Amino acid sequence: MKVLVIGSGGREHALARKIGQSERVEEVYVIRGNEAMAKEAKVIDIAENDHDAIVKFAKDNQIDLVVVGPEQPLIDGLGNRLTEAGIKTFGPNANAAQMEGSKDFAKVLMEKYNIPTAKYKTINDKAEAIAYVKAQGTPIVIKYDGLAAGKGVVVAMDDETAFDAINDFYAEEDAKVVFEEYLEGEEFSLMVFVNDDFCIPFDTIAQDHKRAFDGDNGPNTGGMGAYCPVSHISDEIIERTNNEIVYPIVEAMHKEGLNYFGILYVGAIVTAEGPKVIEFNARFGDPEAQVLLRRLETDFIDLIEAVDQKQPLDLVWRNKTICGVVLASKGYPGNYDKGTVVKGYDYQQDYIVSALKQVDGEWVTSGGRVMIALGEGLDLAEAQSNSYKLVENIKSDGLFYRTDIGNKGI
């Protein structure tokens, strides 16, 4: 079969690689992809937002399956367009993708169906927001309602940070902002493959590291590293997460007529009262996808087919721990330079690339999060050590990384 992956980042690089490993796959294409994917897929120079061109390409090339990686094309309805054209698409329709596209949409749904999550209030007015924070006090979590590439969340531990976030978020006309109670606990990421009222949750979870700097300091990012499995979060917690969050939210989406077909990312936190939802995403997490797909042995196409046919499938995982460390452009998630030379990368399988391109025979940076180094081992300490050895092999004056990815699990 022929498979088309939509996206250009590390998540899509990992997806293209995993899909290409299936004996059932004849050819993998990626739109728009990046140059580091060229040895694993055919990179097609079409913009992710050019839905007409994508549909035409899929038809002309007799694509059997499209896997949509990023959230923006899903929110914009690419899944709808492809499905209407008769092309099997793994990625939710625009209405269902509101589970990520609107924090308020997801919170309303969770409240209606008693899904455990933080208490919240959605506010459209800046003055009202300021008054609310003064009344509630800090710490408080402030979330921009729409998409913000993983950076639209501020965990405000003091009033100054909270009011700065309010000024930023309400600078946009007609802004809608969700204010949530601050939850204490350990966070983890659970991926669930969903087909309307049926789902296959991953039985391995990952732990992301959202803050830019060591010790969970600095601003929120799209993710600075991840590892799996997370051995210090018990099977009992995962079972409770499935029973109290996953299965009820799948049933809720079914009852609401969302007809969800794709991956539902459950960002959860273990509180004193049990697991609660921090957020939902309508696609694989990044960088969680990179570590999870590296560890997954089950054929990815077999998995999608099982979900499509609503057939249970026991997932098989390699007996390895995977630790991934993100190398990002200095200044990320704020302003950063592009075009910085990166040495040491030559398509090795231990790296997955988000933002590199070739200029005059050299690799240079082209975005914020640039690449991830994937170390593996029999335990997390070994995997972590191997990942940082890989990091040291990459030479560039323009990159930074956290030095504590995985420490919580050791």
- Return the CATH architecture of domain 125-175: 2-Layer Sandwich (3.30)
Structure tokens belonging to residue 186: 């350990």
Task: Select 2-94's CATH number: 3.40.50.20, 3.40.50.140, 3.40.50.300, 3.40.1160.10.
Answer: 3.40.50.20
Structure tokens belonging to residue 81: 């367009």
The pLDDT assigned to 146 comes to 81
The pLDDT assigned to 220 comes to 87
Residue 151, pLDDT above cutoff 70:
no
Chain segment 205-260, per-residue pLDDT in tens: 999 999 999 999 998 899 999 999 999 999 999 999 999 999 999 999 999 999 99
Extents of the domains making up the chain: 2-94, 125-175, 186-309, 321-401
Residue 131, pLDDT above cutoff 90:
yes
Secondary structure class of 325 (helix, strand, coil)? strand
Rounded mean pLDDT of the chain?
A: 96
> Rounded to an integer, what distance in angstroms lies between the CA atom of residue 309 and that of residue 302?
10
Chain segment 292-325, per-residue pLDDT in tens: 999 999 999 999 999 999 999 999 999 999 999 9
Task: Select 321-401's CATH number: 3.90.600.10, 3.30.365.10, 3.40.50.2020, 3.10.20.440.
Answer: 3.90.600.10
CATH number of 186-309: 3.30.470.20
> How many angstroms separate the Cα of 294 from the Cα of each of 16, 39, 345?
12, 17, 19
End-to-end Cα separation, the chain, in angstroms: 42
> Rounded to an integer, what distance in angstroms lies between the CA atom of residue 40 and that of residue 211?
31
> Rounded to an integer, what distance in angstroms lies between the CA atom of residue 234 and that of residue 292?
18
